Structure 1
Amino acid sequence: MQIVGVTTQHEVYVASKEHKFRMNEMVVIEDQSLKNPKGEVVETFSYNRYIPMGFDKGIVDDQVLKTLEHIGYDIGADDIHLAKVRLFEEAPQPIQTGARIRHPEFHEIESLLVQSNPKDGMVLGEVKSTDFIAPSLPDSLNGLLHIQEEDNLRPQNGVPFIFDIRAMQQYPHIGVFGGSGSGKSFGLRVMLEELMKLQIPTIVFDPHFEMNFAAAASGIDDAPSYHERYTVVQIGRDVGVDFSALSTRDVERLLQAAGSLSESMVNVIQTIHKRKDSYQSFSDRVANLAEALELGKQKVEGFLHDGGMSREEISKYTTFKKLLDQFGSLPLASVKGIQWRVNRLNQAGLFQQNIRAIEQGIHAGQLVVVQGAVWLLQVFSSYVIGSLYGKRRTYKDAKLQQQQGEFFPPFVVVTDEAHNFAPKGYDAPAKSVLKEIAQEGRKYGVFLIFATQRPTLLDETITAQLNSKFVFRTVRGTDIQTIKEETDLTHDEGKRLPYLRSGDVFVSSAIIGRTMAVRIRLAHSASPHTLNPFDELRQMTEAGDEAVLTALKPHLPIAEMSIMKELDTLNKEAQKSWDVQSWKQELERLCQQGKLTKQKTPFATLYDRS
């Protein structure tokens, strides 16, 4: 391998007869006067006799061809492999044409590839095209992971990609971008496993109910178990909002998520809500006011003056009168709108629990997965993130002022479908607190990991604060443009984005200082959604057929006329509620599939074992 063509201080062309260059391959240029500069392959090409000599596009131009002929290449007969190499650091002067090229030893490029050790960092994958360096890897960096290549599983055969999470104190927050099927959710799962390994307190908002780590991935015998390192909670069942701890502004944010609020509705909340209100006291006040406004002040006073009422009725109308005296000017429609929103949140179970389980998990260094519908997660995330961030901030502020405060640990907030939580162009319940964390969370040890298929739809203030970006396959032009604006991806790398394999990712990080191509490792746990839906359909159909055949077995051969007599028994054993016609159709279908046989006699149609 040697340099050909015109060279510059930052780019050279390399040619070889035997070696086929690969994207992101690293090389060392043997130029002692420049202290053996190092570079990375950014474009590759193969040139042979089947290509017309007039071909002058791409990296094969006249200068390169002339150089190849001068140094002994037979353009008409040889297969010539060419690559454009970009230097990691600009050289003081152009590289010497004809200089030899070789693959580096690990110690020569260690500082470019590894920023942390496996115990302190997140082992996320393998740096692509580093198998040439594998023989010189130290033992501490070997055998750390497995890689899935198509349908095959292979052990590590290159330099591991270890993300230095400690450097997030200086370069905070991570963005994970990629379209459907790109491996984005898989990459996020691997990140969460590494956070659990490091016992970093983390709260995950999971709208897809897929962040469960109980099932082990197949093919890895010594995979670590995460059973004690995470907890899953559902909104309404395990966690909820302590209504009495809410401020009036918090109540506004919560009800805004249940349905947009008019200015009149906001005024109703600000007028009616009292400090330390429980859900019951607030909802009763709203409901009583709505009923009082419907009756009107005149009717309420009339009932009280007429007499002849029970003690309960007197108490009820007295309450109505007090409410009308206080809040009688509020519009009925707005009060009813607030009543509907409060009831909707309560029916979803939001006010029936508290966040103690989440706080306990954070204190224990666990990963806490919060599951629920997207709209409910939007509401709940606003409350819980604000509460946890407030406790962490209060502790740090007290410490800075040399006061005694209750310790609350630093933590990481992770959201999938992040554009739902912090959208661009309009407000959302959790958006303000997430923007505050994006801008100031570093000082308090609170960090964000945002995953989304649509980075264009994510709030620009937050996108700008994501100092590390993991970019999986992305097809939409607007998203690619957003990614290129927010990262140091080159034009050529941007062109490759729509064609990346699932699980391949460009990592653009201020921590690393350049973009790296990485293959995400095989996760130690399996997603509950890995079963192909068509395989699931086939399995359920086969299971259903088996249940029907088991119920039929004691009655075979069975005549068509006998179905009516055996109907109750068949339905009970097969756990069905079919009528006679449905059973006949099922018997015909099983015959067509060869699971039963059908025989017509002069007296009846018989169904029997196949």
Structure 2
Amino acid sequence: MQVVGITTQQEVHVASKTHKFRMNEMLVIEDNVLAEPKGEVVETFSYNRYIPMGFDKGFVDRDVLQTMEQIGYDIGQDDIHLAKVRLFEEAGTPIQTGATVRHPQFSEVKHLLITTTPEQGMVLGEVKSTDFVYKSIPSALNDLVMVQEQGELRTQNGIPFIFDIRAMQQYPHIGVFGGSGSGKSFGLRVMLEELMKLHIPTLVFDPHFEMNFSKETDAAKGNAYVSRYEVVQIGRDVGVDFSSLSTRDVERLLGAAAQLSEPMVNVIQTIHKPKDSYQSFSDRVAHLMDALDMGKQKVESLLHDGGMSRDEVARYQLYKKLLDQYGALPPSSVKGIYWRGNRLNQAGLFQHHIRAIEQAIHSGKLVVIQGAVWLLQVFSSYVIGNLYTQRRAYKDAKLQQQQATFFPPFVVVTDEAHNFAPKGYDAPAKGMLKEIAQEGRKYGTFLIFATQRPTLLDETITAQLNSKFIFRTVRGTDIQTIKEETDLTAEEGKRLPYLRSGDVFVSSAIIGRTVAVRIRMAHSTSPHTLNPFDELAQMHEKGNEDVVRALADFLPLADMHVMQKLGQLNEQANKSWDVSEWKKELDRLCTEGQLKKEVTPFATLYDRP
């Protein structure tokens, strides 16, 4: 391998007769004057004499051809492989043309690839095209990951990619971007496994009900996560302690159920009292709603006329008291507040507390919070604000040398992040997430945001994501956003729509450059991995088995006897079919070879094949 053509301080062209260059392959240029600069392949090109075309396109120009001929390449006869190599560091002077090029030893590029140890970092995958360096890596970096390629699981044959999570103190927050089927959710699962391995308290909002880590894959190698995470559902396991909410918190929660008008905000500010339970607040609103419907004149008239039971008198006296206090409030706004609160209560939001989440965070566990997207948006604003306030209060007290209850640093993770912090309009948790994005690193609170649409994510938050994992992305607006927010080159941007599932560009201020990585095989698998068409086939097969099993005691069965046996057949098969439906099912099973059909002069018989 040799340098050919005109060189610059940033880029050179390298040619070889035997070696086919690969994207992101690392090379060392033996230019002793410049202390052997290093770079990686950003474009490749191969020329074959049987296909005499292409030298007039791409990055190959006349100067490159002339240099190649001068140093012994036969353009008309040889197979020639060319690569454009971008240097990792700008050279002081242009590279010497004709300089020999070789693959590096691990010690020569260690500082470019490894910034921490496997024990202290997140082992997320394998750096692509580093198999030439693999032979010289130390044993401590060997056999750390398994990688799936072309449907086959293989052992590590390159340098492991270890993300230095401790460096997030200086360069906080991670963005995970990629379209559907790009491997984004798979990569997020691998990150969560590594967070559990490091015992980092983590809060995960899971709108797809897929973050379960109990089912192991062939790559698990004894890495069990059952004791390292908790799964809770909103309304079943966790909820909001209404009595602990301030009036502003109540506004935010009810506004998340549906947008509040100014009169509705005024209703909350007027009616809500400190330490209100949901029941006391809801009853006050409901009674006021009834009182406003009746009107003050009618309530006073009923009290004046008498002839009512003691309970009725107490109720109308309460109505009169409420009307005296809140009679000026608009009835429609009071009804709107009642409806919004009732919607959240029906979802179970006010029937539990977050103690289970707090205990898991204190234990260094990963907590998966599941629920409908709209409910997660509401709950996230409360739980993130609550935990962040506790962490911030502890750190502020320590700085002031005061006694405080320890609350651990933690990471907030969410898929479909554009639903939680959208660009252009408000969402319940958006304000708190923006505050964490801008100030969280000072308090040890970090974000990992995954989304298919980075363009729809709030720009303030996107700008604070110092590390970005970019999977296959097709939409032009998203690619443009990614280019603006990362140091991806034009060549890498062109490759984004064609990345294989599981391949990712990691653009991080921690590393200082973009690295191409193959995400490792996860140690656990999602419950949604079954192909839906396989699921259909399984259900069809199971349905056939259930019906054939129900028919077993009645075979051979004549079509004229179906009416007599109808009740027993339905009971055995757990169906509610009529005679015509059973006959259609019998004929279908015969067509599929599950039964055989024999037509006689007296009847049609169905029997085992």
TM-score by length of 1: 0.99
After TM superposition, list the pairs within 5 Å mapping 1:480-499 onto structure 2.
Answer: 480-499=479-498
> Which residue does the alignment assign to 2:137?
137
Question: Which deviates the most, 552-561 or 525-534?
Answer: 552-561
Tell me the residue number matched to 1:117.
117
User: How far has the Cα of 1:53 moved from its partner?
Assistant: 6.1
Within 5 Å, which residues of 2 pair with 1:198-597?
Answer: 198-217=198-217, 219-220=218-219, 222-597=221-596
Deviations 1:274-315 (A, max 9, x none): 111100000000100100000000010011111111111111
Residue 91 of structure 2 aligns to a residue whose secondary structure is: coil
Shift of 1:155: 0.4
Opposite residue 126 of structure 1, the aligned amino acid is: E
How far off is 1:52 after superposition? 3.7
Per the TM alignment, residue 223 of structure 1 is displaced from its structure 2 partner at its CA by: 3.6
Deviation at 1:380, TM superposition (A): 0.2
Q: How does 1:175-214 map to 2 (within 5 A)?
A: 175-214=175-214
3-state SS, counterpart of residue 343 of structure 1: helix
Q: Which runs of 4+ in 1 moved over 6 A?
A: none
User: What amino acid does structure 2 have at the position aligned with 1:135?
Assistant: K
Q: Which runs of 5+ in 1 are unaligned?
A: none
**Per-residue Cα deviation, 1:45-79 (whole angstroms, up to 9, x for no partner):** 00122344684211111111111111111111111
Match for residue 28 of structure 1?
28
- Please give the secondary structure, in 2, of the residue aligned with 1:136: coil
Q: Deviation at 1:264?
A: 1.1
Distance 2:341 2:382 in 1: 15
- Which residue number corresponds to residue 2 of structure 2? 2
Shift of 1:220: 3.0
Aligned residue for 2:131, secondary structure, equals coil
Query: What residue number does 1:97 align with?
Result: 97
Deviation at 1:577, TM superposition (A): 1.7
Structure 2: 5+ residue stretches without partners = none
Identity of aligned residues (%): 77
Deviation per CA, 1:224-282: give whole Å up to 9, x if none: 00010000000000000000011111111111111111111111111111111100000
Instruction: Kindly state the Cα deviation for residue 221 of structure 1 after the two structures are TM-superposed.
Output: 6.1
Contact kept, 8 Å, 2:4 with 2:13, in 1: the verdict is yes
Secondary structure of 2:349's partner?
A: coil
Q: State the distance in 2 between where 1:531 and 1:586 align.
A: 28
Structure 2 contact 202–366 (Cα < 8 Å) conserved? yes
Indicate the residue corresponding to 1:14 in structure 2. 14
Which residue number corresponds to residue 80 of structure 1?
80
Output the amino acid matched with 2:132.
F
SS of structure 2 residue aligned to 1:94: coil
What's the CA shift string for 1:142-169, capped at 9, x where partnerless?
0001000021000000000000000000
Q: What amino acid is aligned across from residue 591 of structure 1 in structure 2? A: C
CA contact (8 A) 2:381 2:428 kept: yes
Q: Aligned pairs, how many?
A: 609
Rounded Cα–Cα distance in structure 1 between residues aligned with 2:185 and 2:51:
42
Q: State the superposition RMSD in angstroms.
A: 0.8
Distance (Å, rounded) in 2 between the aligned partners of 1:599 and 1:302: 84
Write out per-residue CA displacement over residues 93-144 of structure 1, whole angstroms, 9 at most, x where no aligned residue: 0111110000000000000000110000000000000000110010000000
Structure 1 residues 149-168: aligned runs within 5 Å? 149-168=149-168
Report the 3-state secondary structure (helix = DSSP H, G, I; strand = E; otherwise coil) of the residue aligned with 1:158: coil
- Greater alpha carbon shift after TM alignment, 155-164 vs 576-585: 576-585
In structure 2, the residue corresponding to 1:351 is in which secondary structure? helix
Amino acid corresponding to residue 345 of structure 2 in structure 1 = N
Cα distance, 1:596 vs structure 2: 0.8
Distance 2:580 2:490 in 1: 65
Task: Give, in angstroms, the shift of residue 171 of structure 1.
Answer: 0.3
Structure 2 distance, partners of 1:431, 1:147, is 37
Q: Distance in 2 between matches of 1:371 and 1:150?
A: 33
